[in-house]
Amino acid sequence: MIEVKYFGAVAEKTKCEFEKLSFSEELSLQKLLQDLNGKYDFESLTFSVAVNQKIVSKTSDYTLQTRDIVALLPPFAGG
Positions that interact with other proteins (CB under 8 A): 7-9, 43-46, 48, 50, 53-55, 71, 73-79
The least CB distance from residue 69 to other proteins, in Å, is 10
Beta carbons of 15 and 50 less than 8 angstroms apart: no
The least CB distance from residue 62 to other proteins, in Å, is 15
Nearer to other proteins, 5 or 31 (CB): 5
Stated length of the chain: 79
The least CB distance from residue 26 to other proteins, in Å, is 25
CA distance 61 to 64: 9
Secondary structure E strands in 26-76: 48-51, 54-56, 69-73
